[in-house]
Amino acid sequence: MLVTFTTKAYADITMFGDVALAMLRKMGHSATIPGAILAADVPVALSRLTAAIDAEKSSPLLADKNADEPVVSMAHRALPLINLLTAAAKTESNVMWK
């Protein structure tokens, strides 16, 4: 499953479902798809997401020695969504996902 985040202030961001659901939970929202954040609530969601990501940065990454692919941190995965939320907060735009 893919989840696409949209707002009028920024380009659409598409994430794999499991990553998107984790980001939604970090923002304090349920894992309901489709969904939306009203413009007035975007700054709070952005703050919660950045706080959760900052808290995870202090934890070391556990690499899977059997995997051929490098481990991608949640901070790197969250960056496009953080940029989208920042743009939406500046322009007071709603954020939706489907």
Domain assignment of residue 53, yes or no: yes
pLDDT score recorded for residue 65: 64
Non-local (6+) Cβ contacts of 21 within 8 A are 3, 31, 33
Computed on alpha carbons and rounded to an integer, the radius of gyration of the chain in Å comes to 14
Structural domain harbouring 7: 2-57+70-97
pLDDT score recorded for residue 59: 64
Domain total in the chain: 1
- The Cα 41–Cα 96 span in angstroms is 12
Domain assignment of residue 49, yes or no: yes
pLDDT score recorded for residue 70: 74
Domain assignment of residue 85, yes or no: yes
Return the minimum-mean-pLDDT range out of 4-8, 25-29, 36-40, 64-68. 64-68
Report pLDDT digits (tens) over 30-89: 878 999 999 999 999 999 999 999 888 776 656 566 667 777 788 899 999 999 999 999
Buried b (16+ CB within 10 A) or exposed e, 22-35: bbbebbebeeeeee
- Give yes or no for a contact between 15 and 23, defined as CB atoms under 8 angstroms apart: yes
pLDDT score recorded for residue 69: 72
Q: What is the mean pLDDT of residues 21-26?
A: 94
How are beta strands 2-7 and 95-97 bridged, if at all? antiparallel
Tokens representing residue 59 in the block: 């934890």
Domain assignment of residue 63, yes or no: no
pLDDT score recorded for residue 40: 96
- pTM of the predicted model as reported, rounded to 2 decimal places: 0.86
